[in-house]
A and B are shown apart, each in its own frame.
Chain A
Amino acid sequence: MKTIAVFLSLSYLSLLIESTWCVFCDLYFLHIDPLPALICWISLNEDFWPGTLAVTICGLLASLFSCLDFFLFPVAYLIGFFTVYFIRINVLELSRLQAYLITGFISIEILVIQLAGSGTPELLWPWGIIQAVLNFAIAPTAFWMCDRCLALVASLVAKFSHEKGN
């Protein structure tokens, strides 16, 4: 539950900043998007159904900030979530660096779906690939932020329950 709360809060915050900040920062087709990293993080830290629900909500929230088809974001994000989740439960226990690399790969997956769904698949090369590299680069920061927030929430909950116990 704490993981989902942290994930959804950070997702919403990043969506708000992204949609406001990008008006004043022109980077052509690129943007600083921590959402693929956040999806990768929740895939590694949450169970199937709660994770699926959280990522769906995140996708629906993202749809509100875009003119793309409403369910395009949930579909793209869920595919990213399922990919990492099934790697996690079937293949291996991921190291941090591997998790960052996977963030880059699922970014490509997500972008393929979003670009094809919005009728501009030709932008995948080279912009989509550059965006995926950018997402890989910001993944350590996003993971660090998620872990710190989760630790903070956990300590607050522990403190609150301790005070309640006393």
Chain B
Amino acid sequence: MANQPPKKSKGIKKVLIVATLLLLAGLLTLTTLTRTRIILPAEMVLKDTNGRIQSFLSVPFSKLRLIWEAYIDLQGVKEENQVLKAQLAQLENEITSYREALIENRRLRQLLDIKNSSNWKTIVAQVIGTDIAPWRAVITIDVGKRNGVTVDMPVLCQGGLLGRVIETSISYSKVMLLTDYHSRIGAIIQRNRARGILKGDGARGCILDYVKKGVDIQIGDTVITSGLDGIFPKGLLLGKVKLVGPGDKSDLFQFIGVKPMADIEETEEVLVLKSPLPKIKKK
């Protein structure tokens, strides 16, 4: 190296070592104290400043990706067109059956006197950044306290549930995705109402845990929120079962791999659900 190592006397070295240890001990203490993540006003202001710069920087990256995607899309457009036509015919049939289900649903809702969930207020937000720790599936969105966003609000995207708000500053919020290691969501299998807890696997998928062995789970089954966690409303689409295994002999539960319906890598716009959970009116 061009630089010469500094010559330090033994006394100075001892002072430096003691200072180092004291500093680290102090910081470690602060780390344990701040586990509750109380956001200081200064931190909030700095986060907002960073958010503005991130919003500015995310535009060219977004444009570049659009150009690349347009090129990729052109490659298989003919094949895709045929597939889409077939899907359209299938979907038309499905829509007819859904209309029937909707009419039936409305009737049942009136019967049960449950508030219609489609009346919920939502906020549209842009994804502007991600967490610098790549093992955390956390994104930053451009709405915050100013827009009425609070911690634990559910966040949706085109496919289904994306995650929940875990931190808010004035104009920006952090959203923990359902694929995050620390994400836990109460879930049920739509077909047979089998309950479980959907955990993130830290990468791109999820695991439906605590479903007993012997419960009939099939690949392709739809997983929805159960509403039992008190955070997410019931019936939001989570994903499809992609893998079912018996697990180890000693395990009490099945191993169920779930592919999230939300397009986590491609999402640019999200929807934050503002209104509280629907409650059954007391008569």
Contact = CB atoms under 8 A, between A and B. Distances in A.
Contacts of A92: 5
A94 interface: yes
Given A75-B28, A120-B181, A45 B134 contact: no
Given A19-B140, A20-B58, A89-B6, A69 B34 contact: yes
Contacts of B133: 66-68, 114, 118
Interface in A59-74: 62, 64-72, 74
A62 B132 contact: yes
Given A71-B30, A78-B24, A120-B202, A64 B134 contact: no
Interface residues of A, number: 54
Given A26-B265, A29-B202, A88-B5, A18 B57 contact: no
A148 interface: no
A35 to B, nearest CB: 9
B120 interface: no
Contacts of A125: none
Contacts of B134: 22, 27-31
A56 to B, nearest CB: 8
A20 B28 contact: no
Q: Chain B interface: which size bin?
A: 35 or more
Interface string B23-37: 110011011001101
Contacts of B73: none
Report whether over half of chain A's contact residues are helix, strand or loop; otherwise say mixed. helix
B1 A47 contact: no
Contacts, number: 137
B52 to A, nearest CB: 11
B27 A71 contact: yes
B268 to A, nearest CB: 8
Interface stretch (B42-50, B97-105, B243-251): B42-50
Given A16-B50, A64-B43, A79-B24, A71 B131 contact: no
B266 to A, nearest CB: 9
A29 B61 CA distance: 20
B15 to A, nearest CB: 9
Interface of B: 1, 3-6, 8, 13, 16, 19-20, 23-24, 27-28, 30-31, 34-35, 37, 43, 46-47, 50, 53-54, 57-58, 61-62, 64-65, 127-136, 138-140, 166-167, 174, 176, 181-182, 202-204, 265
9 tightest A-B CB contacts, nearest first? A71-B31, A31-B134, A20-B57, A19-B129, A71-B30, A22-B130, A65-B132, A70-B34, A23-B130
